[in-house]
Amino acid sequence: MFNTKEALKKILTLKEAAQMWKLGESTLRGAIFRGKFPEGIEVRKSGRTWLIPYDVMEEHYGPPKVDPDNKGY
């Protein structure tokens, strides 16, 4: 059975990813515009919000600097 809650935990906004990996949002936005994350393949924009999968961040930047289950980032 598909678990929506678990699936959504695997998709991050740029703000969440920046907080978890202790990077600036502008650093990640710049990486997108430079082609580090191919749009539509590794990142997607929904309205004005960039979305990036957790595993893509981990692939490019290693494990997060902050525990992803810690809601306080």
Domains of the chain in sequence order: 7-61 (1.10.10)
- What phi and psi values does residue 63 have, to the nearest 5 degrees? -65, 155
Confidence at 72, pLDDT banded by 50, 70, 90: low
Specify the 3-state DSSP secondary structure of 25: helix
The burial class, CB within 10 Å (0-12 / 13-18 / 19+), for 26 is exposed
> How far from each other are the two terminal CA atoms of the chain, in whole angstroms?
30
Mean pLDDT within 41-46: 93
- Helix then strand count (H, E) for the chain reads 4, 3
pLDDT at residue 73 tops 60: no
pTM of the model: 0.81
